[in-house]
Structure 1
Amino acid sequence: MLELKNITKKFGSRTILNKLNLTIPDRQILAIVGPSGAGKTTLLRCLSGLEKIDSGDFLWDGQKFDPAAPDSKSHIIGVVFQSYELFPNLTVIENITLAPTLVLKESADQAQTRAQKLLGQLDLTGKEQLYPYQLSGGQQQRVAIVRALAMEPHILCYDEPTSALDPALRTKVGEIILKLKNNNNMTQIIVTHDMEFARQVADQVFKVKALDDKKVI
């Protein structure tokens, strides 16, 4: 179980997250919804360690952890970014195995075996030697999901996973998220402005909003 206790994040005098408390049970899907500028992506960046909080605590199964810590043992949360962030000069398999070999110190064989299994789960078998530019947008997104899963996170987060997708791809993303929950027992957090999508896939929906001139969760 992931717990956020009194999480506060400021940029200068501007408060983005204000003493936020939130609990995400294991194997559930949480959707964080709200308008642009209300703090959704900031919260995701704090969870992933890309931003350091000003105060508060993150707890995993009752134990405090720091997402921003360089220690590989703190790799509890994986993130699939809106722009996917794939390395354009690396093939699909190289994108997926790079971090496990460098950060988790896995052997090349171990990383390759896990990558192949995950690629199969997301219907990407046969795409291993392609480069990102040779893939469709939906395929790139699935590769980004596989890359995040290859680090064996306990929780997988998505930043606007349905942004600019057509209805068919939007449905496919929902199917993938539910498949990961049902088959992989994966806890997932979705940051989205798409309330309809959130209601379709999430076990719980957490709404954020902007108050006055300050953006406060």
Structure 2
Amino acid sequence: MLEVKNLAKAYAGRQILKDISFTLKDGQIMTIVGPSGAGKTTLLRIIAGLESKDSGEILIDGKEDLTQVGVVFQDYNLFPNLNVLENITLAPKLVLKKSKEEAEKEAMTLLDRLQMKGREKQYPFQLSGGQKQRVAIARALAMKPKILCYDEPTSALDPNLRVEVEKLIVSLKETGLTQLIITHDLAFAENVADQMLKVKPLSEA
């Protein structure tokens, strides 16, 4: 279970987040919606341990351990010089100390699940936006996160691909994965969410 308690963050004297609190149960999907400037991405980055908070608590199963959080970035952040399989297996080999064989076996299982089997030798420039996103999801899942966060997963996708992303996120929920999604797409947010958190710029609060 993810618990966020009274989270606050300011940049250069400007308050971005103030007293943000919520609870996300295991296996559920939360969407965080709001306009640009509301602090959605800042909130995600703090939960993922990529930025520091000014105050508050972030607890996973009662402990402040953000190593269990994976992130799928808006621009995917795939390594252009590595093929799909190499992108997915790099961190498990370096961080989790898995053998090449074990990492590749698990990566192929993920690619199969995400309907990307047969593309493991392709490079990011050979993939569509939706395919890059699936590789980014596979790369995050390869690290066995307890919680997977997405930053605007539908922003660069056409309506047909948005529906595919919805199906994919719901299918991952069926595996027991807890998911946190930052989005400005209200219809998408309502379709996938067990619960929704609406944020707005503090100047409007």
TM-score computed with the length of structure 2 as normaliser: 0.97
2:93 matched residue in structure 1: 101
Which of 176, 183, 203 is 2:194 aligned to? 203
1:91 matched residue in structure 2: 83
1:29 matched residue in structure 2: 29
Task: Provide the rounded CA distance (Å) in 2 between the counterparts of 1:109 and 1:159.
Answer: 31
Task: Provide the rounded CA distance (Å) in 2 between the counterparts of 1:144 and 1:60.
Answer: 23
Task: Provide the rounded CA distance (Å) in 2 between the counterparts of 1:138 and 1:163.
Answer: 11
Q: Deviation at 1:105?
A: 1.0
Q: Deviation at 1:164?
A: 2.6
The percent of aligned pairs where both chains have the same amino acid is 59
Task: Provide the rounded CA distance (Å) in 1 between the counterparts of 2:135 and 2:181.
Answer: 17
1:157 aligns with 2:170: no
RMSD over equivalenced CA pairs, Å: 1.1
- How do 1:169-188 and structure 2 match up within 5 A? 169-182=161-174, 184-188=175-179
Task: Provide the rounded CA distance (Å) in 1 between the counterparts of 2:156 and 2:101.
Answer: 36
Give the gaps of 5 or more residues in structure 1: 68-74
Number of residue equivalences? 205
Counterpart contact for 2:92–2:142, Cα < 8 Å: yes
- How do 1:5-20 and structure 2 match up within 5 A? 5-20=5-20
Task: Provide the rounded CA distance (Å) in 2 between the counterparts of 1:132 and 1:141.
Answer: 10
Which of 108, 113, 135 is 1:121 aligned to? 113
Q: Deviation at 1:15?
A: 1.0
1:61 aligns with 2:61: yes
1:190 aligns with 2:190: no
Please identify runs of 4+ aligned residues in structure 1 that moved more than 4 A: none
Q: Deviation at 1:64?
A: 2.5
Task: Provide the rounded CA distance (Å) in 2 between the counterparts of 1:57 and 1:116.
Answer: 37
